[in-house]
């Protein structure tokens, strides 16, 4: 090996390199639906209009993750944890037009699944990684003191370990292009190019009657 490169017999036209990467050893999908989630509204306002909702990435609740190897299934483990998904709802006060934000969270989602986690030396650590995609399923229903939401949560659960991989490589990435500068619209320039309006009303003979 010279300068970290060597010829790859499987890819003779490329060089190869060793990299450190987060390898996904196993993954699976889950979903959970909340049909009627009630979120309290501030008591000092009367009527609201729904504007938008923004979901934060789901998190594994600290201290809830338990991994138990299964003696009857070598290299597989029982994985238990709780998932917390928070969100921010934007509402508009119908009386004043003011936008307010209501912070909410879904009830904790309990997961109890079996995943492939191969045997490894004591110093090697696997991590359980969670990715979520949450979405509003129907138009929210707003009452005098709460908003009713229907929310679905898609989850991908991964077993991840940091490893060294030998891969074909094209070398370093090429130089990136120049950044695009932001220039606000020139209102006066648009005005200068606009056609001049007629200043006076048209005469009778000019009208197509």
Written as one string, the DSSP assignment of 94-108 is: TTT--EEEEEEEPPP
Alpha helices in the chain (DSSP H): 187-193
pLDDT-derived band of residue 1, with 50, 70 and 90 as boundaries? very low
pTM reported for the whole predicted model: 0.76
* Better-predicted residue by pLDDT, 55 or 194: 55
Task: Pick the range with the lowest mean pLDDT from 21-30, 93-102, 144-153.
Answer: 93-102
Q: Residue 95 — φ and ψ, nearest 5°?
A: -80, -45
pLDDT tens, residue by residue, 41-94: 876 556 788 999 999 999 999 999 999 999 999 999 999 999 999 999 999 887
Query: Please, what is the end-to-end C-alpha distance for the chain in angstroms?
Result: 90
Q: How high is the pLDDT of residue 2?
A: 43
Calculate what percentage of the chain has a pLDDT beyond 70: 91
Residue 193 DSSP SS3: helix
pLDDT (average), residues 105-128: 95
Asked if residue 90 lies in contact with residue 99, where contact means CB atoms within 8 angstroms, the answer is yes
* Better-predicted residue by pLDDT, 15 or 83: 83
Q: How high is the pLDDT of residue 187?
A: 75
Asked if residue 145 lies in contact with residue 42, where contact means CB atoms within 8 angstroms, the answer is no
Q: How high is the pLDDT of residue 157?
A: 97
């Amino acid at each position: 090996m010279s300068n970290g490169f060597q010829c790859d017999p499987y890819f003779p036209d490329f060089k190869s390199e060793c990299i450190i990467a987060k390898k996904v050893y196993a993954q699976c999908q889950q979903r959970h639906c909340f049909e009627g989630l009630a979120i309290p509204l501030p008591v000092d306002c009367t009527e609201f209009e729904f504007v938008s909702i923004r979901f934060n990435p789901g998190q594994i609740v600290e201290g809830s993750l338990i991994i138990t190897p299964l003696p009857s299934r070598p290299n597989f483990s029982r994985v238990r944890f709780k998932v917390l998904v928070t969100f921010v709802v934007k509402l508009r006060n119908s009386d004043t037009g003011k936008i307010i934000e209501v912070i909410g969270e879904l009830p904790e989602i309990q997961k109890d699944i079996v995943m492939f986690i191969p045997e490894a030396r004591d110093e090697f650590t696997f991590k359980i990684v969670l990715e979520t995609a949450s979405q509003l399923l129907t138009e929210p229903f707003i009452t005098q003191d709460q908003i009713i939401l229907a929310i679905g949560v898609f989850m991908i659960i991964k077993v991840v370990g940091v490893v060294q991989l030998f891969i074909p490589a094209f070398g370093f990435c090429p130089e990136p292009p120049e950044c695009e500068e932001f220039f606000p619209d020139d209102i006066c320039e648009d005005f200068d190019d606009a056609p001049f309006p007629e200043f006076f009303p048209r005469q009778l003979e000019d009208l197509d009657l």
